[in-house]
Amino acid sequence: MSSIPLLPGISSQMVATPRLTIHVRSSGPTTGTPVLFIHGNNSCATFWEETMLALPSGFRALAPDLRGYGDTEFQPIDATRGCRDWVDDLLGLMDTLAVERFHVVGHSLGGSVCWTLLATAPERLLSLTLAAPGSPYGFGGTKDVDGTPCWPDYAGSGAGLVNAEFARREGAGDRSEDEPKTAPRVIMNTYYWKPPFRPAREEELLSGLLSIKVRPDNHPGDKVASEHWPGIAPGRFGPNNALSPKYVGDSVERILAAANKPPILWVRGANDQIVSDASLFEIGTLGQLGVVPGWPGADAFPPQPMLSQTRRVLERYAAAGGTFRELVLAECGHTPYLEHPEEFNRALHSMLGS
């Protein structure tokens, strides 16, 4: 069923849920404690296969391709709901599989989905492990640890900032290294992990990156004009708009107010270029570096302090009765579970067994 070859020990199936038919990879005993793995943007669940196989005995790994990615039935993302389409899909999947409570592991965009899942159904989560997650305030367009928007229309976030040529090459299934600034393979090997690391399953992971559905109602998504720098505000469709703080920022107070507060593990690479306080994929950083002209300055639009925002929210979470641990891996980029699997798995397995 999977269009990408599976590692031995991984199986896959199509699961019909009330919302859509979801492609799910799985491993481990069917009676094991469930662990739900949520992949990042420009990828799919194939990225989790080694981590799934490394789970201790007694655990069941479930890794779906999110809506808009991989082999899951395509339906458009309503970005005005933030990450709630994905969360509703995942809860519908777990209901269909008769799974009431489960551990969750989310990477990058999958970490952003986790924030909304934590705000929506914390009573169903046994634990939450965040691998290089997006900020709980969304991606782009905010300027302090409390997620204050730079502009009232959230200009500087959303799909309008996606490199159109990179998206075109994704849609064309381009596996070359030609014109490296927009080559999906080069982008993956430069930013997903810290060079010179190259994964053993590079071809399968590149297939996962290329599995995102490039079409007008998904990726890169729509945009609207803005009077504010850089002249683009978020639209209504696709994953990059769904990550805008315009649509996801309400999760934080719901997380803090919830009675249920599962333990949280936050694992990140010290050299992450995608999610950081100076992200090379964020318009404030690019403006400050002079890559994008017209930057209005640090008072109006500083680089988004993504890590500081996450840490501040987790500190407030702990003060409200929850617990968290932050683990920073040296010589590591945006994908700690692939770059340093032994350290990542040690921390994850400790969380699962606690």
The DSSP annotation for 56-112 comes to: PTTEEEEEEPPTTSTTSPP---BGGGTTHHHHHHHHHHHHHTT--SEEEEEETHHHH
The predicted pLDDT at position 233 comes to 98
Q: Which residues contact 350 (CB under 8 A, 6 or more apart)?
A: none
The predicted pLDDT at position 333 comes to 98
Q: Which two tokens stand for residue 238?
A: 């696709």
- Altogether, the residues listed in the chain come to a count of 354
Q: Tell me which amino acid residue 117 is.
A: L
User: pTM to 2 decimals?
Assistant: 0.98
The predicted pLDDT at position 1 comes to 79
Cα separation, 303 vs 142, in Å, equals 8
Under a CB-based contact definition with an 8 Å cutoff, are residues 197 and 187 in contact?
A: no
Helix (H, G, I), strand (E, B), or coil: what is residue 45?
helix
What are the boundaries of each domain within the chain?
Answer: 11-353
Cα separation, 214 vs 122, in Å, equals 32
Provide the 10 A C-beta neighbour count for residue 212.
24
- When computed from its CA atoms, the radius of gyration of the chain, rounded to whole angstroms, is 19
Which CATH code of 3.40.50.1820, 3.30.70.20, 3.30.1360.120, 3.40.1190.10 fits the domain covering 11-353? 3.40.50.1820
Q: Each residue's pLDDT tens digit in the chain (354 positions)?
A: 799 999 999 999 999 999 999 999 999 999 999 999 999 999 999 999 999 999 999 999 999 999 999 999 999 999 999 999 999 999 999 999 999 999 999 999 999 999 999 999 999 999 999 999 999 999 999 999 999 999 999 999 999 999 999 999 999 999 999 999 999 999 999 999 999 999 999 999 999 999 999 999 999 999 999 999 999 999 999 999 999 999 997 899 999 999 999 999 999 999 999 999 999 999 999 999 999 999 999 999 999 999 999 999 999 999 999 999 999 999 999 999 999 999 999 999 999 998
